[in-house]
Structure 1
Amino acid sequence: MISPDVTFIVGGARSGKSAHAERLASDSARPVTYIATARVADAEFAARVELHRARRPAHWRIVEAPLDLAAALGAADAPGHCILVDCLTLWLANLLCPADGAAPAADYPQRFAALDAALAAAQAKVIVVSNEIGLGVVPLGAATRLYVDELGRLNQRVAARASTVTLMVAGLPLALKGAAPNEASLHAKGR
């Protein structure tokens, strides 16, 4: 079932997906809660996270949810608000590749279902970001194949739920489902 105000933005690394999602959240003119799923493990990644932080408005509420994304989404949900989830790629990595080197979380399929239920129940405008990593060859190694397969399944699930799906390529939004936000606004202005 399609949720009326869920936007899904997918693309490769450095495709502009996070910046595009942040523009949509700003343009919503609603209070924004940014749900960050990253788990910072080293200095290089900390620098990447800091670039994202510096780009976001200081008044946005930040919630860190490396594992329990559905609960964070539910807690942030409110009519007239905007929730930006960045990103599913890192959330899944946290579930399948725990920091302590343990086996993948056995309950990840239930966490997918909980996220789907949270998206279905959302009253806020929700923007979800993820990477598209399945465009290359079948990866070597069972763990990597599991990750690529499960991210593909998760992306399909969220895309089915979303009313708008945008693929980002080289900083350009390409509408896959629904009208791309920038195209809709151009048509509304009569251009």
Structure 2
Amino acid sequence: MSIVFVTGGVRSGKSAFAEQLAKEKDVSVLYVATGVATDKEMEQRIALHRERRPASWEVAERPYDADAFVSEYSGYEVVLFDCVSTWLSNLLLTFPEGRWRDGAATEEIKGKIERWLSGVRQYQGTMIVVSSEAGLGGVAMSRLGRWFQDMLGWANQRIAAEADEVYAVISGIPCKIKGERI
């Protein structure tokens, strides 16, 4: 089992880099997609990701319940999970505004992420995980934005600690910051 974590800013090229890593393996790939087409812009982003994927890759759309489907991974040599930050956004938005940053809501989301990570540890193939890096910008102005940053920072740190390799992608250039290249 190997976990490769790919992080970077929005539109940094992290997904394209992660896809390239999966293609280089030349084995069976499951692409776990977390995006939800909530508007035209998001529809276009999802379409771009679909166009880049090889037709041979299987796709599992798991925008809310990714933690419940880790058992699906066992049939594939590589799983590409794209992405944690979108999955987290989806989860945060299931709570009404009055519960944003609520301790119980925060623990519920952390529990889902921990269950998913526990399942990932059991997976025997190569797991490539993509997530946005929220720690390079300023503190968000809104309560929801700060909750997202806090939760994503926590999740990214948990995943990076478990990962065998970590890459930061900046302006399309991957920089290895932990481990050996797969």
- TM-score over 0.5 for the pair: yes
Provide the residue aligned with 1:159 in structure 2.
160
SS in 1 for 2:86: helix
- How many percent of aligned residue pairs carry the same amino acid? 38
1:1-191 alignment to 2 at 5 Å? 4-78=1-75, 81-98=77-94, 103=99, 106=105, 107-181=108-182
Structure 1 residue 19, shift from structure 2 partner: 0.5
Task: Rate the CA distance shift 1:161–1:141 in 2: closer, same or farther, 3 A.
Answer: same
Deviations 1:51-78 (A, max 9, x none): 1101110111000001111222321224
CA-CA distance at 1:103 after TM superposition: 4.7
Aligned pair count reads 177
Partners of 1:75 and 1:101 lie apart in 2 by: 33
| Partner SS state of residue 76, structure 1 | helix
Q: Give the SS at the match of 1:77.
A: helix
Q: Does the 8 Å CA contact 1:35/1:72 hold for their aligned counterparts?
A: no
3-state SS of the aligned residue for 2:168?
Answer: strand
Q: Report the more deviating stretch, 134-143 or 91-100.
A: 91-100
Two-structure CA RMSD over aligned residues (Å): 1.9
The answer to whether the 8 A contact 1:32-1:81 is kept is: yes
- Hey, what's the Cα distance between the residues in 2 that align with 1:73 and 1:179? 25
1:47 shift after superposition: 1.0
- Paired letter, 1:139: A
Q: Secondary structure at the match of 1:123?
A: coil
Gaps of 5+ in 2: none
CA distance in 1, matches of 2:29, 2:96: 32
